[in-house]
Amino acid sequence: MLLLAFQAFLLPLLLLQPRLILSTSETTTSSGHAIPYPAFEHFNVKETIAAETNIRAPYEYNELSADEQENKTWKLHLVHRDKLSFAWLNDHRRRFESRMKRDVKRVASLIRRLKISGAGGGGGGRKASYEVDDFGSEVISGMDQGSGEYFVRIGIGSPARSQYMVIDSGSDIVWVQCQPCSQCYHQSDPVFDPAGSASFAGVSCSSLVCGRVENSGCHAGRCKYEVAYGDGSYTKGTLALETLTIGHTEVQNVAIGCGHMNQGMFVGAAGLLGLGGGSMSLVGQLGGQTGGAFSYCLVSRGTDSFGTLEFGRSVLPIGAAWVPLLRNPRAPSFYYIGLSGLGVGGMQIPISEDIFRLTELGDGGVVMDTGTAVTRLPTAAYLAFRDTFLAETANLPRAPSVSIFDTCYDLSGFVTVRVPTISFFLSGGPIVTLPARNFLIPVDERGTFCFAFAPSPSGLSIIGNIQQEGIQISFDGANGFVGFGPNVC
């Protein structure tokens, strides 16, 4: 049994519930192939410290293999920023501190966006149009090291110029830094020059595409855009239609922002690949070509492998646990799911489901976000969750709080420890159960581990990428479902 527990520990397996049929025969899936996961596991402390804190050479981004080129033309390699040479820090504590600083800013940004979108009532608060003076105004950035957690490499223009792009499931625009660049941050590749692309075409102010951009304006007949992020970072420029190369598939006439003034953004990356639920995201624009479907697997920390990002209905897995996607008119780019409760050691904690509910006014709810690292929960839910975990780990020595974490342990004297697994009880029945590596993370090389959850500064819950690591997560936007598993990475 102990051997089985160790084998199970290596993969974030899912406790899935009975068969669920989606609303179209194309995406009929079954979640009946459940892989049992124990309520408690033997967590290998020394192995985890070695894997996650040892100094490793930066990851070199490789092109798809011949088999991947033939069979998965819409597939991209997905890499965490800490593995790339232009964002690499060889000290684990510095990497951890930088990630937590980015995370706090990210959460504040999401909450600020929700407040602004609701400021006018009924989903209002949007500025109808911008004059050229608005686009020339200065914005002070609060970011020193940039944000963005996961990167892909795509081709832009004709001929295609390869660029690193940050993926963001909470954003609805694709943009890249462009020449002439009056203000640009440093990126690892040469800044994209539209003059060298045969497929670049500016967008007129009167076009339907321009009207779909939330913060659009007009200057000299050309459509202007501006995106300001909650941390003070921004991109401003012109809207254009351009060819993108995703894997080995060329996609023509994708509306992208060509940023001539950018500050404080994603260090090393050329721009951002928005994967949100709105019409201007890459997923929204691909539309019928991919059926509004995509899937990603965020590779677990401390490994030498890479994750994947794939598009198209053919990538939707059979055997996943499918739950409905919820929509918030105040934040159409966010992917909400229903959460009915939390579990520790196989037992559900007595918390009211209402604490996770998305209200009719667009408050609260649970968002899946690739840009947030640490899962945030409403304070009352977090305290009950944390206290239950503390009770089940009372035999482990405590350590002082670190950064945003108030529950830490000194495991320096242990090779392995017995800890409870934790579970998300999803609305409709499925249960996602995570192993310890998805919520006990080392914050230094000495053996200090912290419980990787934090209270939310608002009623919004956010499922972060640490908790998503290693699990195949699929979005069927056309039918309104999100799937968990069954594959792992």
Out of 82, 168, 231, 476, which one is annotated catalytic?
168
Q: Would 122 be classed as within a structural domain?
A: no
The domain that contains 451 carries what CATH number? Answer: 2.40.70.10
In this structure, what are the phi and psi dihedrals at residue 397, rounded to the nearest 5 degrees?
-70, 135
Same domain, 47 and 62: no
**Which tokens in the block code for residue 135?**
């686009």
pLDDT tens digits for 359-410? 999 999 999 999 899 999 999 999 999 999 999 999 999 999 999 999 999 9
Same domain, 392 and 357: yes
pLDDT tens digits for 61-93? 555 555 544 544 688 988 877 777 665 566 777
Q: Which residues contact 349 (CB under 8 A, 6 or more apart)?
A: 341, 342, 343, 384, 385, 388
Q: 213 is in which domain, residue-wise?
A: 57-90+128-289
Same domain, 350 and 485: yes
Same domain, 407 and 457: yes
Residue given tokens 């420890």 in the structure block: 417
168 noted as active-site residue: yes
Out of 82, 103, 231, 369, which one is annotated catalytic?
369
d(Cα 145, Cα 99) in Å, to the nearest integer?
10
In this structure, what are the phi and psi dihedrals at residue 183, rounded to the nearest 5 degrees?
-155, 110
Same domain, 474 and 413: yes
pTM: 0.84
Q: Would 123 be classed as within a structural domain?
A: no
Same domain, 382 and 245: no
Same domain, 189 and 270: yes
Q: Would 338 be classed as within a structural domain?
A: yes
pLDDT tens digits for 429-463? 888 999 899 999 999 999 999 999 999 989 999 99
Highest mean pLDDT among 89-98, 227-236, 329-338: 329-338
369 noted as active-site residue: yes
Q: Which of 60-64, 158-162, 233-237, 268-272 has the lowest mean pLDDT?
A: 60-64
Sheet with 422-426: strands ordered across: 347-348, 339-344, 422-426, 431-434
Same domain, 62 and 46: no
Which pLDDT does position 234 carry in this prediction?
86
Q: Would 19 be classed as within a structural domain?
A: yes
Which pLDDT does position 352 carry in this prediction?
95
Same domain, 278 and 347: no
Number of domains in the chain: 2
Q: Would 404 be classed as within a structural domain?
A: yes
Q: Would 481 be classed as within a structural domain?
A: yes
Q: Would 303 be classed as within a structural domain?
A: no
Q: Would 365 be classed as within a structural domain?
A: yes
For all residues of the chain together, what is the average pLDDT?
81
d(Cα 388, Cα 421) in Å, to the nearest integer?
12
Same domain, 176 and 230: yes
Say which amino acid occupies 447. G
Same domain, 170 and 207: yes
Same domain, 138 and 40: no
Which pLDDT does position 19 carry in this prediction?
30
d(Cα 347, Cα 343) in Å, to the nearest integer?
5
